Amino acid sequence: MRAMSNTPKTPDPAVPSNAEKDPDDWTTGDESMTGAQASYLKTLCEEAGEDFNPELTKAEASKMIDALQEKTGRGRTH
């Protein structure tokens, strides 16, 4: 029997990641945003001086998070 490795498997770049899927294509994109999205979005809105809309869908919240990360410089890895 082969021992399992703790090393994470490197994703195949040819296979699209769900993390990079366009929010407009999400199956659940029209559902209410998640609690985590709402919490992070509130923080970003405060930092960017924008109004927080608690009625956004998951897809709308994701797009707004991306835009506000760009505006505030948050969420950048480099």
Residue pLDDT, tens place only, 57-78: 999 999 999 999 999 998 776 5
Report if residue 3 sits inside a domain: no
Report if residue 21 sits inside a domain: no
For residue 57, give the 3-state DSSP assignment. strand
Report if residue 43 sits inside a domain: yes
Lookup: tokens for 4: 């399992």
Q: How many CB atoms lie within 10 A of CB 69?
A: 15
Determine the pLDDT at residue 64. Answer: 96
Q: How many CB atoms lie within 10 A of CB 33?
A: 22
Lookup: tokens for 44: 């970003």
Determine the pLDDT at residue 71. Answer: 93
In the chain, the number of structural domains is 1
Report if residue 44 sits inside a domain: yes
Report if residue 5 sits inside a domain: no
Residues of the chain below pLDDT 70: 1-19, 77-78
| pTM exceeds 0.75, yes or no | no
- State the residue range of the domain holding 40: 30-72
Report if residue 52 sits inside a domain: yes
